[in-house]
Structure 1
Amino acid sequence: MPSTITRGQRFVLAAVCAVAVSTIYAIQPVLESAGGELGLAGPELGRLVAAGQLGYFAGLVLLVPLGDVLDRRTLIVGHLILTGTGAAITSLAPGGMAAGAGLALAGLFAVVVQITVAYVAATSPPGERGRNIGTVTSGVVLGILGVRLLAGVLGDSLGWRSVYAVLAVLCLALALLARLTLHPDVRPARARYRDVLATAGRLVATDRLLLGRGLIAFFLFASFGTLWSGLALPLGAAPWHFGTTVIGLFGLAGLIGAVAAARAGSWADAGHAHAVTGWSLALLAVSWTLTAWTSPGLWPLIAGVVLLDFAVQAVHVSNQHLLTAAHPERSSSVIGAYMAFYSLGSALGATTTTWAYAAAGWRASCLLGAAYAVAALAVWALARRTVAPEDGVTGRAGGTAFRLHSARRPLHRRSV
């Protein structure tokens, strides 16, 4: 498929990613106020956060493979409408069960993010794939972190429900904009949905690249979720007692780190994705030593947040670049399978950080986050035994070996 993505279309696609993913993470900075109104407390708050993540996981398994079957533009439009419906249900929920159902529905169709990334990967030439993916996925980070500021301000001024009302409107507006600005995803032939699901399952079981990068993503986003699902708890407690607006401002620190990692896609295009993954995961582990210190001042915590989000974005972009380059003909299925690991990791982090905080405070949550980071680093180190850092990565799927070289050399495919 020829490259047809313009700068304006990249902006629309990045906005789609930002708004869709916001519906999952907007609950975190207003968690206590939402829980108080809905009658939830303690570990139940973690389950409220996890509802969106589990819905997201189901969507990754069942809906993202549709991108290899149907017109991705049509899927982007439809998924945005249904994501907005879930956000609207959440904003009107009378109790915790209804709110959880709304969050799960929004999460189920927020996988429009992965449909969007697959659309970008399919329309980008090999030498620009990493850069374009990096640009569009920057919208994901903007959504995850920027919505904290939006939710904080709206939560303090209009209440937590207004956050989801605004997101519902934005989803519907973007659905219309995507329909008007994006080109149809025309492909000469498409696989059957049943076959695509079966292929995705076989890839997870047999492809070393997908399994390795998926496990890295699982622990990476468990660490990420540990921070961002739990940070509002110590900041809202003594001695700080911050409101949702101030807590939301901490998302700006995360944005600084994520923006600083914008070149990760270009590094991947140049053949450095494996090395970038290694030192970024090491940086992630180190960041927790700063994040644990919340007294007497918050500057170490802020520095830790910047480093953590830089590391997470660098690894995430590198992972997606490698996988879509190795499997260009099934990018939706591969991204969906990869992001299933991401979703489970995020849900694990969201659930366990509230448990650790309730049991032993913020230091325990930080120790947990660091342990997840070290586990991701260990997976990367084990993968080095079968992957040559200078040449790229080798995976196996369906009896074919793939070797990804730098952008200065073509992608070769060798039969085993």
Structure 2
Amino acid sequence: MLITSGRKFLLAVVCAVAVATIYVAQPVLAEIGTGLGVPESDLGWIVAAGQVGYVVGLAVLVPLGDMWDRRRLIGMQLLLAAAGTLLAAFSLSSWMLLVGLATTGLFAVVVQTAVAFAADLSSPAERGRTLGAVTSGVILGILGARVLAGAVADLWGWRSIYVGLTLLLIALALFVLWLLPADRRPHRKTYRGVVSSLGQLFREPLFVSRGSIAFFLFASFGTLWSGLALPLSADPWRLSPAQIGAFGIAGLVGALGATRAGRWADTGRADLVTGVSLGLLAASWIASAQASWSLPLVILGVIVLDFAVQAAHVSNQSLLTSAHPNETSSVIGGYMMFYSLGSALGATTTTALYATAGWTGSAVLGAVFALGGLLAWPLGRKTVAKTPCNPCDDGSAA
């Protein structure tokens, strides 16, 4: 069955809202810290809590996508994520908030179920483009969450953000159950078999190399977006949450600019796109490091960083799903473990380092992570060369 434009859009929205639940705290970290008495050096744990839950979900929940009807699984996970955001909205202490965010992160792995479902509904020749469209929802959710969260927090406080997310998650669960096709597969795997195959992936060079790139890619990404609110809310700028969140618009521009990465992957250029993107990621920190005196340079750095991250991310997933067409949920879930660990590392280290070395220290850290990705890239190039490419057209679509 070929995926329709409407189904692509719905799955992209699912990805956007689900992933937003983990990242909406970033532009309002200072407000949450003030409200719940969290020290500045520990603010990164508010973001990391969702990432920790996410890692657990990737290990124990995503494999279910290779066993169960993914339409029902997506609906159920959206409702359970809504329970987590509701707990966060009414938290009375930092620990209650962390439990709510960890619960939300656990079921936010619905993103991977949605991406795998989209890949399976696509023909091989269109898979890269479908992944590009659906995973664009991930980046749009991460960045759009900042724009909306800042504005909503200015109007009604940070708790209202999680109330709104709860309502959105419930509505999406109903739309998914109503509009997506049933996921009927003739051969169902056992949970033990799926988990065993996931473990075997960690011994595969292609998977490990692409996962390593994702780890450094999103550690650098997390360093920027979990730490940028701190220098922007300090002297000389003193920006409000809404103004800080507006920097997400620049990120959206960069991410949308990378939507053609899926088309490039369909024409056999996924590995080249990855290498160029990692180079751009490292270079973006030259501009982002100037947050103490130049907002235009920060905006430039944000655009380049988000373009690079989205392009490399789509290319990585295209290569992995092409190599494992019958285990898309497991391979994407395993790959995203690297993503989540990298994001958590970036979130916790950037706020801790900022407290001692300022934004310059955080920027150096982000650049080091990017260079780590560049060093990991050549290690997997031989395995990429052996991976069969998806059938594609004559290249004109690129």
TM-score class, shorter-chain normalisation, is: over 0.9
In structure 2, distance between residues paired with 1:145 and 1:358: 24
Establish whether residue 203 from structure 1 lines up as the match of residue 187 from structure 2: no
User: How far does residue 382 in structure 1 lie from its aligned partner after superposition?
Assistant: 2.5
User: How far does residue 278 in structure 1 lie from its aligned partner after superposition?
Assistant: 0.4
User: Residue 237 of structure 2 aligns with which residue?
Assistant: 240
Q: How does 1:7-86 map to 2 (within 5 A)?
A: 7-86=5-84
Which amino acid counterpart does residue 57 of structure 1 have in structure 2?
V
User: Residue 217 of structure 1 aligns with which residue?
Assistant: 214
User: Residue 399 of structure 1 aligns with which residue?
Assistant: none
Superposed CA offset, 1:167-208 (max 9, x none): 00000000000110000111001110011101101111x211
User: How far does residue 52 in structure 1 lie from its aligned partner after superposition?
Assistant: 0.3
In structure 1, distance between residues paired with 2:182 and 2:390: 30
User: Residue 144 of structure 1 aligns with which residue?
Assistant: 142
User: How far does residue 408 in structure 1 lie from its aligned partner after superposition?
Assistant: 3.7
In structure 1, distance between residues paired with 2:374 and 2:293: 31
In structure 2, distance between residues paired with 1:80 and 1:358: 36
Q: CA RMSD in A?
A: 1.0
Which amino acid counterpart does residue 102 of structure 2 have in structure 1?
A
User: Residue 388 of structure 2 aligns with which residue?
Assistant: 404
Which residue of 264, 270, 275 corresponds with 2:261?
264
| Partner SS state of residue 240, structure 1 | coil
Establish whether residue 300 from structure 1 lines up as the match of residue 297 from structure 2: yes
Q: How does 1:17-416 map to 2 (within 5 A)?
A: 17-204=15-202, 206-384=203-381, 386-387=382-383, 392-394=384-386, 403-405=387-389, 407-408=391-392
Which amino acid counterpart does residue 322 of structure 2 have in structure 1?
A
User: How far does residue 48 in structure 1 lie from its aligned partner after superposition?
Assistant: 1.5
User: Residue 400 of structure 1 aligns with which residue?
Assistant: none
CA contact (8 A) 2:71 2:176 kept: yes
In structure 2, distance between residues paired with 1:232 and 1:254: 14
User: How far does residue 369 in structure 1 lie from its aligned partner after superposition?
Assistant: 0.3
User: How far does residue 121 in structure 1 lie from its aligned partner after superposition?
Assistant: 0.8
TM score, norm. by length of structure 1 = 0.93
In structure 1, distance between residues paired with 2:74 and 2:294: 44
Superposed CA offset, 1:78-132 (max 9, x none): 0000111101100000010000000000000000000000001111111100001
CA contact (8 A) 1:52 1:105 kept: yes
Q: Residues 393 and 106 from structure 1, CA distance in 2 versus in 1: closer, same or farther, beyond 3 angstroms?
A: farther
In structure 2, distance between residues paired with 1:340 and 1:294: 31
Superposed CA offset, 1:244-267 (max 9, x none): 000000000000000000000000
CA contact (8 A) 1:209 1:393 kept: no
| Higher deviation after alignment, 56-65 or 36-45 | 36-45
In structure 1, distance between residues paired with 2:101 and 2:195: 25
| Partner SS state of residue 184, structure 1 | coil
In structure 2, distance between residues paired with 1:195 and 1:393: 29
CA contact (8 A) 2:56 2:106 kept: yes
Q: Any runs of at least 4 consecutive aligned residues in structure 1 with deviations exceeding 6 A, and if so which?
A: none
In structure 2, distance between residues paired with 1:235 and 1:241: 6
CA contact (8 A) 2:322 2:390 kept: no
Number of residue pairs matched by the alignment? 393
In structure 2, distance between residues paired with 1:97 and 1:393: 48
| Partner SS state of residue 68, structure 2 | coil
| Partner SS state of residue 371, structure 2 | helix
TM score, norm. by length of structure 2 = 0.97
| Partner SS state of residue 29, structure 1 | helix
In structure 2, distance between residues paired with 1:393 and 1:342: 23
In structure 1, distance between residues paired with 2:188 and 2:292: 57
CA contact (8 A) 1:87 1:168 kept: yes
User: Residue 396 of structure 2 aligns with which residue?
Assistant: none
In structure 2, distance between residues paired with 1:376 and 1:207: 18
In structure 2, distance between residues paired with 1:348 and 1:296: 27
Q: What 5-or-longer segments of structure 2 have no aligned partner?
A: 394-398
CA contact (8 A) 1:220 1:373 kept: yes
Identity of aligned residues (%): 55
CA contact (8 A) 1:81 1:175 kept: yes
User: How far does residue 295 in structure 1 lie from its aligned partner after superposition?
Assistant: 4.3
Which amino acid counterpart does residue 362 of structure 2 have in structure 1?
S
CA contact (8 A) 1:271 1:407 kept: no
